[in-house]
């Protein structure tokens, strides 16, 4: 049963893991060795140390982007520069490493420290603290950019900080994670068994040791039933949401739900784009569509 469930949900963990959204593992390792992102340790008011990475799209960048990655424990060292390599414009892109992720972590084996702290509240707060540091040193942030798991977190920060000017979300929609999973399970005729697996989380919701699909119950219980719609209704910035029509991790119905619910609320600042035939990682018929999308997003960010 668990193996069948994995085939439905496992891609949720691949938003930015090395095994899914990257062109070639060896390519990324080599690129990170030759030109790794810059990194510095910053300290929050509570004394927590955060590892903050950044890459520049050109020398002396004019604009600032804050990035929140998808799920998993792959190090930003490997994919941050690659992910934004085709973003048009002059940008410094910041992202904070998740707690318990070592600089050379491939994401294949997450540490006990990562598992203990991979909850929505803790991941959000870590990004909030890093964003405050960036705002204090760089001034207003042109965009906060969230992918998959990071999409809802990015929306939350955009709603909280007026000094963010734009919001970009890829691979995240307007339904709860539970609803997304059930839609995917229903397509495969496995709804009841998956609901049974998920129901087991309620027996020990704070456990960092009991797992479903490699993630602790504690993670799942923090994420499953968060409704993104109230968050988006608080966002006032121009927002660009992108999802692949054939997304195998977050069903396209989630994007339609976000579009339709915002329209019903007359919330007109959000543009939802569905890319025909594209997967969760925006590949269609073997062709990576991210380079052209990044050029389009860069133009959108500078069009005001």
Provide the CATH number for the domain around residue 227: 3.40.50.1820
Alpha-carbon distance 17 to 71, whole Å? 8
* Secondary structure tally for the chain: helices H, strands E: 12, 12
Do residues 134 and 141 touch, judged by C-beta distance below 8 A?
Answer: yes
pTM: 0.91
Query: CA-CA distances (angstroms) from residue 165 to 25, 86, 230, 235, 279?
Result: 34, 21, 19, 10, 28
Angle at 279 between CA 121 and CA 188, to 5 degrees: 85
pLDDT at 33: 65
Q: Which residues in the chain land under pLDDT 70?
A: 1-34, 304
Tell me if 68 sits within 8 A of 146, measured CB to CB. Answer: yes
Is residue 120 within 8 Å of 222, Cβ to Cβ? yes
pLDDT at 10: 38
Average pLDDT taken over every residue of the chain = 89
Q: Decide if 274 contacts 255 (C-beta within 8 A).
A: yes
Specify the number of domains making up the chain: 1
Q: What is the pLDDT of residue 6?
A: 39
Q: For residue 47, what pLDDT is reported?
A: 83
Domain of residue 113 covers: 2-301
- 182: Cβ contacts below 8 Å, ≥ 6 apart: 191, 194, 195
Axis-axis angle for helices 177-187, 2-9 (nearest 10): 110
* 3 state SS of 108: coil
pLDDT tens, position by position, 244-266: 999 999 999 999 999 999 999 99
């Amino acid at each position: 049963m668990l193996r069948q469930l994995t085939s439905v949900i496992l891609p949720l963990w691949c938003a930015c893991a090395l095994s899914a959204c990257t062109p070639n593992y060896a390519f990324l390792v080599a690129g990170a060795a030759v030109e790794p992102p810059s990194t510095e340790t910053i300290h929050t008011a509570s004394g927590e140390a955060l590892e903050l990475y950044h890459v520049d799209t050109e020398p002396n960048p004019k604009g600032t982007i804050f990035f929140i990655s998808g799920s998993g424990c792959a190090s930003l060292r490997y994919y941050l520069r690659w992910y934004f390599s085709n973003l048009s414009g002059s940008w410094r892109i910041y992202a904070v490493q998740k707690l318990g992720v070592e600089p050379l972590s491939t994401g294949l084996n997450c540490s006990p420290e990562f598992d203990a702290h991979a909850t929505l509240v803790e991941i959000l707060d870590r990004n909030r603290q890093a964003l405050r540091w960036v705002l204090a040193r760089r001034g207003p942030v042109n965009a906060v950019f969230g992918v998959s798991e990071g999409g809802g977190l990015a929306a939350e920060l955009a709603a909280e900080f007026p000094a963010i000017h734009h919001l970009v979300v890829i691979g995240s929609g307007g339904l709860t994670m539970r609803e997304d999973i059930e839609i995917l399970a229903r397509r495969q005729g496995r709804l009841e068994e998956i609901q049974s697996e998920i129901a087991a989380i309620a027996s020990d919701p704070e456990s960092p040791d009991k797992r479903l699909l490699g993630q602790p119950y504690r993670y799942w219980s923090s994420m499953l039933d968060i409704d993104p719609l109230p968050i988006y209704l608080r966002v006032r910035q121009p927002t660009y949401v992108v999802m692949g029509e054939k997304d195998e991790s977050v069903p396209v119905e989630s994007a339609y739900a976000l579009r339709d619910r915002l329209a019903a609320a007359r919330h007109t600042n959000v543009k939802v784009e569905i890319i025909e035939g594209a997967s969760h990682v925006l590949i269609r018929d073997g062709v990576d569509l991210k380079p052209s999308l990044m050029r389009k997003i860069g133009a959108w960010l500078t069009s005001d």
